[in-house]
Structure 1
Amino acid sequence: MPAGSVAVVVTEEIGVPSWDLYELSIPCTVFGKPQPDLADPWYDLRLCGTGAGAGGSPTGGGLSLRTPYRLEDLVGADTVIVPSVPDVCVEEGAPLPRELIAALRRAAAAGARMVSLCTGAFALAEAGLLDGRRATAHWMHTAQLAGRYPKVRVDDSVLYVDEGDVLTSAGLTAGLDLCLHLVRRDLGAHIANQLARRMVVPAHRPGGQAQFIDLSVPARDDAGLSPVLDWARAHLDRPLTVEDLARRAAMSPRTLYRRLHAATGTTPLRWLLGQRLARAQSLLESTDLPIEKVGELSGLGTANNLRHHFLRHIGVSPGDYRRAFPARPPRAAP
């Protein structure tokens, strides 16, 4: 017996470029390339198209894919993986193919381990396979996932979620984290680590998706609050209070609380903390300032306090975050 049969869904027939080459390549690379010195036989990979027959499925990048298997071949696979679904299904609510949803339900009922990468979670949720479960997707789409499927307990802070027979990952490279986790579950840590070395990636990344979320801009600003929020962002190194913001906005603390909550969905103190964390992230990415100075300039105080908030809200230490984002040569802070 192979290490397991893996069926990967390739969505077609939406009328738009419908599959992401990067996320599709991840399970193909992990499960489709034999590794005889690690496990022989390796996994048995099937690409299953949702269109009629085995026709070409466009990527939108000048390529097309002809799949040798169809949706009925999902049933009987040990693991079913759904990579990203078309953007139009996520952002505009266009329906996913009914045949796909029915096939996912049949595969799950037959005992398959169900896996989604990025927005593939929308397909599992539509099939009812995430009801009552914790799940994730790319952080840019988790709010839509939670709003559309309220029975799903969406967690936007993690790289992947393992619920036993149903697993979901965040977007893009987080799909690789999850696929390596599947190998670790199936064949053990040693084989997963060796495979990760061959792919020149860490076998396990520290932290979660929270370190990649853009905290710098609130979702919605009340036009009347914009001046005071801009002022607060410019003075994050000060020990600001709700009373300071209310005084600057010429309103009572209660009114400020109500309007800020309506505009951003959070409280004044949590908004301030989010802005301080965003400032600290920016300083860690773009300067070589000591951690103590980053804490001071962001208003988070001592290095220990900065570390506490980073571990709690970002999921990694400030040092690990800086090593993960060496995006540009260091420069002095303004």
Structure 2
Amino acid sequence: MSAPPHRVAVLALPGVVPFELAIPSRIFGGAVTAEDQKLYEVVTCTIDGQPVRTAEDYSITVQHDASVLATADTVVIPPTRLLHDIVNTDGLLDDDVLRALKHLRPSTRLLAICTGAFVLAAAGLLDGRPAATHWAEAEEFQQLFPAVQVDPMVLYIDDGDVMTSAGVAAGIDLCLHVIRQDHGSAVASSVARACVVPPRRDGGQAQYVRRPIPPGQDGGTAATRAWAAEQLGRPLSLVELAAHARMSVRTFTRRFRAETGVSPGTWLAMQRLDYARQLLEDTDLTVDQIADRTGLGSGTNLRQQLRETAGVSPTTYRRTFRTSEPRTSMQG
């Protein structure tokens, strides 16, 4: 008998933003096995089980109250436009919401989309942890919750059992990341294709923060990133990347970080490791062969990096996320 699907509960607070509210159902609901069995069951609740007014001109009716949180493996908190009615200026959480969150089990994985992170922080669930939220709200977030390590530039942060994201579409990125962690890149990519979104976006929020562009600097690094992604099997120096972009190293580095939120070196390392995961899932190549093909150098380096990021060895990762028909080689 197959295991029951992982249960995801979404808490719709008064003033909930409809787009973000729908993200977990759409993304997790699209994840299925090769036999078309759902991998997640998504349920939506309000504090008292009654209809709740959204941020738009309509209300939603749900089938559950907050007691369903006690049955969930993962709980998602979407943002609300009535945030300041729920979290006051002293960073204290509304009593009704606090009582609702008491249904959470200690083992429950928590996800907050956008300003949903304020709710988790006000409940004391982010103290001492790194967290993301919408870049426009990051300063207020940090002032209200100095015990939280706020990063205003990333799309999402995975801190194990607690994950937070930036605004709107970053919630999609976070949910796809969770599927990738739970079931591998193939399942996450299948969901992304069905939703017509990229399986993984480059960089962070830096590219979306409103700032003036200096005169004469309207060129970007996207073309060079696309080119570099096809060259992962060989060393790529910063000088070579800058030359491809037809920029000085200093200008290229500045523009690259502004567009992606990370340095060229960090971005390359992420791309190499993602490619290595794909090869572990889809091929029978040895660890050393994969390390060579992805530009990671040695099997030892691949093992170390995968253990640091995923907490497992390449053998365990391959066994967990192996696709049904591995190939012996791939173009790349």
Letter in 1 for 2:114: C
Contact 1:76–1:112 under 8 Å retained in 2: no
Letter in 2 for 1:98: D
Choose the corresponding residue for 1:207, options 203, 206, 210.
Answer: 203
Query: Residues 20 and 198 of structure 1: is their aligned pair in 2 closer, same or farther, counting only changes over 3 Å?
Result: same
Contact 1:118–1:169 under 8 Å retained in 2: yes
Choose the corresponding residue for 2:218, options 277, 283, 289.
Answer: 283
Equivalent residue number for residue 32 of structure 1:
29
CA–CA distance in 1 between the matches of 2:19 and 2:182? 24
Deviation for aligned residue 1:178:
0.1
Query: Residues 38 and 65 of structure 1: is their aligned pair in 2 closer, same or farther, counting only changes over 3 Å?
Result: farther
Q: Mapping of 1:188-207 within 5 angstroms?
A: 188-207=184-203
Equivalent residue number for residue 119 of structure 2:
123
Equivalent residue number for residue 182 of structure 1:
178
Structure 1 residue 61 corresponds to structure 2 residue 56? yes
**5+ residue gaps, structure 2:** 221-245, 268-332
CA–CA distance in 2 between the matches of 1:102 and 1:4? 24
Deviation for aligned residue 1:76:
2.4
Query: Residues 309 and 4 of structure 1: is their aligned pair in 2 closer, same or farther, counting only changes over 3 Å?
Result: same
Contact 1:102–1:127 under 8 Å retained in 2: no
Equivalent residue number for residue 243 of structure 2:
none
CA–CA distance in 2 between the matches of 1:163 and 1:282? 36
Q: Mapping of 1:290-301 within 5 angstroms?
A: none
Tell which structure's C-alpha radius of gyration is larger. Answer: 1
Choose the corresponding residue for 2:253, options 308, 316, 328.
Answer: 308
The DSSP-based 3-state class of the residue aligned with 2:75 is strand
Q: Mapping of 1:47-196 within 5 angstroms?
A: 47-50=44-47, 52=48, 54-89=49-84, 93=88, 96-109=93-106, 111-196=107-192
Deviation for aligned residue 1:58:
1.6
**5+ residue gaps, structure 1:** 13-17, 217-277, 286-300, 321-334
Contact 2:87–2:122 under 8 Å retained in 1: no
Choose the corresponding residue for 2:40, options 11, 29, 43.
Answer: 43
Contact 1:85–1:123 under 8 Å retained in 2: no
Q: Mapping of 1:263-278 within 5 angstroms?
A: 278=213
Deviation for aligned residue 1:34:
6.5
Deviation for aligned residue 1:62:
2.6
Greater mean deviation of Cα atoms: 119-128 or 59-68: 59-68
Deviation for aligned residue 1:4:
0.6
Query: Residues 70 and 282 of structure 1: is their aligned pair in 2 closer, same or farther, counting only changes over 3 Å?
Result: farther
Deviation for aligned residue 1:60:
4.1
Query: Residues 145 and 4 of structure 1: is their aligned pair in 2 closer, same or farther, counting only changes over 3 Å?
Result: same
The DSSP-based 3-state class of the residue aligned with 1:44 is strand
Deviation for aligned residue 1:85:
2.7
Q: Kindly provide the CA deviation profile for residues 132-153 of structure 1, in whole angstroms up to 9, marking residues without a partner as x.
A: 0100100010111100000000
Name the % identity: 34
Q: Mapping of 1:231-246 within 5 angstroms?
A: none
Choose the corresponding residue for 1:22, options 15, 19, 22.
Answer: 19
TM-score, normalised with respect to structure 2: 0.64
Q: Kindly provide the CA deviation profile for residues 196-226 of structure 1, in whole angstroms up to 9, marking residues without a partner as x.
A: 111111101011111111133xxxxxxxxxx
Contact 2:16–2:53 under 8 Å retained in 1: yes
Q: Kindly provide the CA deviation profile for residues 72-103 of structure 1, in whole angstroms up to 9, marking residues without a partner as x.
A: 11112100000003344289836643232233
The DSSP-based 3-state class of the residue aligned with 1:184 is helix
**Superposition CA RMSD, Å:** 3.0
TM-score, normalised with respect to structure 1: 0.64
